[in-house]
């Protein structure tokens, strides 16, 4: 028996990693589109101004949701595999 598990398990883990990376790239691309849609530059003053929504808030939210989604997918795929 191999030390690190079967080749099927390794390929499934590799697929989960690539899907997680794909989720991050997808959210990163969406974030880039939102940043390019804003005419002015990204500013910290707008980021901390909560009186009205700014593009900066959407950019930070997209990055956060992307990281949480990729990490959540990866962890859920691993927990489902180990519980079988």
| Model confidence at 83: pLDDT above 70 | no
Per residue in 13-52, pLDDT tens? 788 889 999 999 999 998 888 888 776 666 777 778 888 8
Residue 54 has pLDDT above 60, yes or no: yes
Q: Domain for residue 2, yes or no?
A: no
Considering the domain boundaries, does residue 13 fall inside one? yes
Answer whether residue 1 is part of any domain: no
φ and ψ of 38, to 5 deg: -85, 130
Q: How many CA atoms lie within 13 A of 13 on its CB side?
A: 10
pTM: 0.69
pLDDT of 8 above 90: no
Write out the residue range of the structural domain in which residue 66 sits: 7-83
């Amino acid at each position: 028996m191999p030390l690190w598990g079967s080749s099927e398990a390794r390929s499934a883990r590799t697929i989960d990693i690539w899907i997680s990376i794909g989720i991050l790239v997808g959210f990163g691309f969406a974030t880039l589109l939102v940043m390019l849609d804003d005419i002015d530059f990204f500013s910290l003053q707008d980021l901390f101004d909560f009186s009205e929504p700014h593009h900066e808030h959407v950019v930070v939210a997209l990055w956060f949701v992307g990281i949480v989604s990729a990490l959540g997918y990866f962890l859920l795929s691993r927990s489902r595999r180990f519980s079988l």
